[in-house]
Amino acid sequence: MTQAADQDSGEAGGHEATPVLEPPGEGPPPEPPPTVIAEGICMTGPWGPVYGPVDLAIPTGGLNVLVCTAGTGRTALLMTLAGRMKPKSGKLTVFGARRARDIFAISGLAGINGIDTVSESVTVRDLITEQLRWDAPWYRFIGQADEAELARVCAPVFGELPLPPLMEYFELLSELDQLLLRIALANTNRPPLLVVGDLDFVASDSNRDALICRLIDLGRNQTVITATVNGVTNHPVAAQIPVINTDRAELVKMQKLKG
């Protein structure tokens, strides 16, 4: 066979070599999209502006701290993020939900006076029993809570901290235990989003550190949002987000200057 014939035979029966692609390098996984996206949300009341406009992009998971002035504006903003209030204007998306009722269904809210305020003359057992009855179908009988139900409701929130005594009156609990119990009652169904009123409720530095640690732990399986005036130090929070336009007095002053 001639050299030309060999070449023709190779072209007819052979195949082009397939290039070998190098496997892509293992880089960091892509960050998940934000849990909460707020675009220019505003709230007004009978006496003028309450907060806004506010823009937010809160990441998914972990403890996320909003750093802003305390007052009605901040409280109303937290309630809005949990679907308990509807912004007057702007756009709010929480885990893809946009209607307040849909956001409500996937959010827990604790530590907001007037929303989950607890009567001082009730026991821990009373509170847990009431919450279990609220969570259960109407036809199911729920008896008085016992130690097992105390652990089931409170242990995920209290963690390694001692659980409150079942027969203790709420008013006799420490400020830390009071807030942790309110969080536990709001978190029985483990919603994707948990909003906790504010870190400033707890005055003691050691108790505040313990509270932050517990919220960080809850943030392993949920997205947790809280607020404080001065921010958080020495704790691995997911994000600290400065928020403007939550001071109602300043907003009213600005409105008068514009008007």
Closest CA to 188 of 168, 233, 218: 218
H helices of 24-146, in order, are 72-81, 100-105, 124-135
pTM for the model: 0.85
Closest CA to 58 of 244, 246, 242: 242
H helices of the chain, in order, are 3-13, 72-81, 100-105, 124-135, 147-158, 175-186, 205-218, 248-258
The pLDDT value given to residue 25 = 56
The pLDDT value given to residue 240 = 96
Chain centroid, CA 45 distance in Å? 25
Distance CA 111, CA 79 (A): 11
Distance CA 96, CA 196 (A): 21
The pLDDT value given to residue 6 = 47
The pLDDT value given to residue 112 = 93
**What is the SS3 assignment for 5?**
helix
Q: Are 58 and 241 in contact (CB under 8 A)?
A: yes
Q: Going residue by residue through the chain (259 aa), what tens digit of pLDDT does each one get?
A: 444 444 444 444 445 555 555 555 566 667 778 999 999 999 998 888 999 999 999 999 999 999 999 999 999 999 999 999 999 999 999 999 999 999 999 999 999 988 888 887 899 999 999 999 999 999 999 999 999 999 999 999 999 999 999 999 999 999 999 999 999 999 999 999 999 997 888 889 999 999 999 999 999 999 999 999 989 999 999 999 999 999 877 887 777 677 6
Torsion, CA 180, CA 183, CA 184, CA 185, rounded to 10 = 130
Q: Regarding beta strands 223-228 and 62-67, do their DSSP bridges make them parallel or antiparallel, or are they unpaired?
A: parallel
The pLDDT value given to residue 4 = 47
Q: Residue ranges per domain, the chain?
A: 31-258
The pLDDT value given to residue 119 = 81
Whether CATH 3.40.50.300 fits 31-258: yes
The pLDDT value given to residue 178 = 95
The pLDDT value given to residue 209 = 95
